[in-house]
């Protein structure tokens, strides 16, 4: 059974954080270096000084606690989730799943845009779980917590705990992978899915008869892996080794995470044109206070093991994440933002998904729900409304 939950970080944890920030031993850097070698030292020192001297965690904690939150135990794993009911009596349940290096805070701007009823009366009951090993969900202590297993936990959260027979689901980054697993293995529970990227695992498999646009996309993706993908290689292979330093140093933690917010967002080389310091530091403080940087890495390691097994399974035809070899039949929409990691051609996505809506946005990046919440909310609404209309029309015939 679910029970209400409020975030309460002890003041001793915040005091220790500030002391560690004050005692940071700063590294050197290349003269006049911007962000080419990683997180810019000048900006990081500014951010860490603000974190130490100005950032008000108590204020952010009060804001986070303004959203109804709960915990429940599913298959021996404690799951933290936000649960905001939509206006009206016929709100559609919508599961939102975050990724790395963010947390449930990815969706805070999106929630009020979805729970409010529009002119037609459409609204959503919004459920935002924390992935196991992230934020306030339980940290896994055994191997095997991959996206397929997480999808099973979230399916049970929606069906057994919250008693929804069918629901829609949205995700980005790892949230896309988890949402795909929901569609593959929990099809009877899914109304539709909405994604902001094609799960990265598909890029590992060679394509059969790729088109020119797909070949171009693959080459671009391979180039990205070579120039920007080292973090993923480390987190997929030896995450424990890296985590010792980041769990001990808040400046180190910030340096590792903030670089992704800079590189993957549509910020025109000005990070705070997209995110405020308070937004960035709220996410960082959650990682720090819960000591979940190591467990957040672990999903990379678990998933690469699953993908390798799928690659060498002779039954696999299309989808490396589905050992039965079929693509999902669930109606799927993609909202793609120009400064995300890599934008695939529609034909590529159609190899793995039943694509019924394809939107290429004019602005935004990897953290779409934080960067362009209104654009994302509108696209989610339009797609789910269309699916709902299609179902009602079919039932009336």
Q: What per-residue confidence (pLDDT) applies to 375?
A: 99
What is the domain-level CATH number for residue 338? 3.40.50.1820
Q: Is the pLDDT of residue 341 over 70?
A: yes
Write out the two tokens for 386: 């269309």
Asked if 194 is an active-site residue, the reply is no
Q: DSSP class of residue 123?
A: -
Query: Which tens digit of pLDDT belongs to each residue from 132-182?
Result: 999 999 999 999 999 999 999 999 999 999 999 999 999 999 999 999 999
Task: Give mean pLDDT, residues 80-86.
Answer: 99
- Give the pLDDT score at 32: 85
Confidence of residue 320 (pLDDT cuts 50, 70, 90): low
Quick: pLDDT tens for 345-391.
999 999 999 999 999 999 999 999 999 999 999 999 999 999 998 87
Pairing of strands 92-97, 77-84: unpaired
Query: CB of 169 within 8 A of CB of 182?
Result: yes
What pTM was computed for the model? 0.96
Which of 102, 125, 156, 173 is catalytic? The answer is 173
Choice among 134, 164, 287, 300 that is catalytic: 300
Residue 212 pLDDT: 95
pLDDT of 306 over the 80 cut: no
| Predicted pLDDT at 389 | 85
Structure tokens at 220: 């671009």
Tell me if residue 248 is catalytic.
Answer: no
Distance CA 375, CA 361 (A): 8
Q: How does residue 118 score in pLDDT terms, banded at 50, 70 and 90? A: very high
Task: List, in order, residues 6 or more apart from 322 with CB less than 8 Å away.
Answer: 184, 310, 316, 328
- pLDDT bin (cut points 50, 70, 90) of residue 308 is confident
Q: Which segment of 55-69, 287-301, 311-325 scores lowest on mean pLDDT? A: 311-325
* Residue 173 annotated among the catalytic residues of the structure: yes
Can you give the pLDDT at residue 394? 66
Parallel, antiparallel or unpaired: strands 92-97 and 124-129: parallel
Q: What is the pLDDT of residues 173-232, one digit of tens each?
A: 999 999 999 999 999 999 999 999 999 888 877 788 999 999 999 999 999 999 999 999
- Predicted confidence (pLDDT) per residue in 237-289, tens digit: 999 999 999 999 999 999 999 999 999 999 999 999 999 999 999 999 999 99
- Residue % of the chain over a pLDDT of 70: 95
d(CA 307, CA 128): 26
* Active-site option among 80, 98, 170, 366: 366
pLDDT average, residue stretch 301-324: 72
Q: What is the pLDDT of residues 53-68, one digit of tens each?
A: 999 999 999 999 999 9
Residue 355's domain comprises 3-396
Lowest mean pLDDT segment, chosen from 5-14, 26-35, 266-275: 26-35
- Give how many domains the chain has, as a whole number: 1
């Amino acid at each position: 059974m679910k029970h209400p939950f409020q975030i309460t970080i002890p003041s001793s944890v915040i005091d220790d954080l500030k002391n560690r920030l004050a005692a940071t031993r700063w590294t050197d850097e290349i003269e006049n270096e911007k962000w080419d070698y990683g997180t810019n030292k000048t900006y990081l020192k500014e951010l860490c000084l603000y974190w130490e001297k100005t950032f008000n965690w108590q204020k952010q904690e009060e804001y986070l606690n303004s959203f109804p939150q709960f915990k429940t135990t599913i298959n021996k794993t404690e799951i933290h989730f936000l649960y905001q009911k939509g206006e009206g009596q016929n709100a559609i349940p919508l599961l939102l799943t975050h990724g790395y290096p963010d947390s449930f805070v990815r969706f805070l701007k999106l929630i009020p845009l979805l729970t409010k009823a529009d002119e037609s009366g459409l609204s959503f009951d919004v459920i935002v779980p924390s992935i196991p090993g992230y934020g306030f969900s339980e940290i896994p202590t055994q191997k095997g917590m991959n996206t397929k297993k997480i999808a099973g936990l979230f399916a049970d959260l929606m069906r057994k705990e919250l008693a929804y027979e069918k629901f829609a689901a949205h995700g980005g980054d790892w949230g896309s992978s988890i949402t795909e697993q929901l569609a593959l293995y929990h099809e009877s529970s899914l109304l539709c899915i909405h994604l902001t990227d094609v799960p990265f695992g598909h890029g590992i498999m060679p394509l059969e008869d790729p088109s020119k646009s797909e070949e171009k996309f693959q080459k671009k993706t391979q180039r990205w892996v070579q120039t920007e993908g080292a973090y993923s290689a480390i987190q997929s292979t030896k995450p424990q080794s890296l985590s010792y330093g980041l769990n001990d140093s808040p400046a180190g933690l910030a340096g590792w995470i903030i670089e992704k917010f800079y590189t993957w967002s549509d910020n025109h080389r000005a990070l705070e044109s997209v995110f405020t310091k308070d937004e960035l530091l709220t996410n960082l403080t959650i990682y720090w206070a819960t000591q979940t940087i190591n467990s957040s890495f672990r999903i990379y390691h678990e998933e690469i093991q699953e993908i390798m097994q799928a690659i060498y399974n002779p039954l696999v035809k299309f989808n490396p994440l589905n050992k039965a070899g079929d693509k999902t039949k669930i109606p799927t929409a993609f909202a793609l933002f120009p400064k995300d990691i890599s934008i695939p051609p529609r034909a590529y996505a159609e190899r793995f998904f039943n694509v019924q809506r394809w939107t290429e946005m004019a602005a935004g990046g990897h953290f779409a729900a934080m960067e362009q919440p209104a654009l994302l909310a509108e696209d989610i609404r339009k797609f789910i409304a269309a699916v709902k209309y299609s179902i009602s029309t079919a039932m009336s015939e």
